[in-house]
Amino acid sequence: MAIADTLESTTPSDSSLSDLDATRFLRRRPTSATTAGTESDTIFRPDIRGTHTSPPDHAAVNGLSPAKRFQEDNDRNDAVENPNLIETEKVSGEMAESRGEANSDVSAVKFAYRPSAPAHRRVKESPLSSDAIFRQSHAGLFNLCIVVLVAVNSRLIIENLMKYGLLIQTGFWFSSRSLRDWPLLMCCLSLPVFPLSAFLVEKLASQKDISEPVIIFLHVIITTTAVLYPVFMILRFDSAVLSGVTLMLFACIVWLKLVSYAHTNHDMRKISRSFDQGDVLPSSLDPEDPHNVSFKSLVYFMLAPTLCYQPSYPRTAHIRKGWVVRQFIKLIIFTGVMGFIIEQYINPIVKNSQHPLKGNLLYATERILKLSVPNLYVWLCMFYCFFHLWLNILAELLCFGDREFYKDWWNAKTVEEYWRMWNMPVHKWMVRHIYFPCLRNGIPKGVAVVIAFLVSAVFHELCIAVPCHMFKLWAFIGIMFQVPLVLITNYLQNMFQNSMVGNMIFWFIFSILGQPMSVLLYYHDLMNRKGID
């Protein structure tokens, strides 16, 4: 009723609409309304007085059609009131090309809002129907979700503060002996020795001073020592958890880079020998020196945000200093948010919970569900801080061009898609140095996938168990459990053939059954070991 009243109040009445007023009203109407009126005008056409007439072929009176009569009257009225109006219309080009069309449109305007005008003209879908949902903008619903999240989490923050008070402490992140963790600091500073050793081996190999079996043996010794040396240092000195995690992450990155460096140079030597035998050299290599061992390229590779070695990388033209400063500020803010959530929410939940595998099943389920929300927030903050902010900052400072550090993993329909998209540096390394070498050696695809997950599981366990001084194998089991989950989610996706169903299954497994359970297991055992409970 409100819409109808508005239309009636804005549309001139039939009794008061003169020829001149009708033309002026038409000028104020939008093109869409005029077009709609033109479509309805094919049904029947009212004259300017508001009475229905016959079709146009029955309209001639005294040798003039109603359109002609209306045109002459309209021209006279326009000329009397505003002699320059017609000329202005011709210059602007906004009116119809002929007076006959203008007359027809004026009649259509009067007809458009009558009760007899058709309200339904074509087939349309509801905005939320499956055929039209992805063609609509959902910005309003997104804003609603943001408002709901802010409201719900604000309540949780207030409730948590009222119940526990402010729990931000430094004991978990940096213990009283953190500043005395100099053995771990020295170990971290000594890690560049291993890339330097690998470079010396490759330099000797390029000069053909050592044989290929010796080269492989030396690289195995270097890469293995690069991991075992930090493990020994962390287990030898009872340091803070964060210090141990940081050192293990650096050690694992060095190991992955050294493996890629050795594997790539080994393959380049094979290509160089093939070139010497008359084979065609790939365009990616220098024809004058197909196997060029450069110390500068190694240093850049060890600093660059990639795990796959190659002699050169795509580069950007310059460094955006202001952009880097803004990203650093974001990094500091989101790191603080992540620490606040851990200290204020995750710690109390774990401290007030029983071991999930030793207590009541219903109680353990409630704890996992309660932990899933703050754990998901922490994980998202970690992803944003490391994969988006830190890696992009590093790439900008080094002018590293390829910044596809992740894909749209949040749209993953299966667990397999998630693992292929969320961590692109590791995924590219796995494909390049594990998966394809297995296939080239005749290993079936399924076994190659299991081997890739096995390597990932070992390093996940090292990065968590060693700093915590606990070898429970929860991380190892959690990663290897992804293999049957890949098969299950692929089967469900093929069965439902619906991306939304697969994506919801992925989020359910990822947010509730996966990480919260692992975090609760490790975190609870860590607190028990420290005597916090």
Nearest to 388 by CA among 404, 377, 399, 373: 404
**Is 469 an active-site residue?**
no
Structure tokens at 324: 């880097």
Please enumerate in sequence order all residues whose Cβ is within 8 A of that of 84, keeping only pairs 6 or more positions apart, or say none: none
Using alpha carbons only, what angle is made at residue 331 by residues 326 and 334, rounded to the nearest 5 degrees?
125
Centre a 10 Å sphere on the Cβ of residue 458 and count the other Cβ atoms it contains. 16
Please say whether the dihedral angle defined by the alpha carbons of residues 133, 134, 135 and 141, taken in this order, is positive or negative: positive
d(CA 302, CA 509): 35
Active-site annotation holder among 58, 460, 469, 524: 460
Helix, strand, or coil here: 188?
A: helix
d(CA 232, CA 426): 25
d(CA 445, CA 434): 11
Centre a 10 Å sphere on the Cβ of residue 120 and count the other Cβ atoms it contains. 6
Length of the chain counted residue by residue:
533
Q: Which residue in this structure is represented by tokens 């009708």?
A: 22
Structure tokens at 68: 């002609």
Structure tokens at 498: 């619906």
Q: Are 105 and 38 in contact (CB under 8 A)?
A: yes
The CA dihedral of 316, 320, 321, 323, to the nearest 10 degrees, is -130
Structure tokens at 439: 């296939």
Centre a 10 Å sphere on the Cβ of residue 315 and count the other Cβ atoms it contains. 11
d(CA 99, CA 69): 11
Task: Return the HEC string of 384-430.
Answer: HHHHHHHHHHHHHHHCECCCCCCCCHHHCCCHHHHHHHCCHHHHHHH
Nearest to 16 by CA among 41, 40, 43, 48: 48
Phi, psi for residue 306 in degrees, rounded to 5: -150, 155
d(CA 306, CA 405): 9
d(CA 291, CA 160): 61
Catalytic residue numbers, as ranges? 460
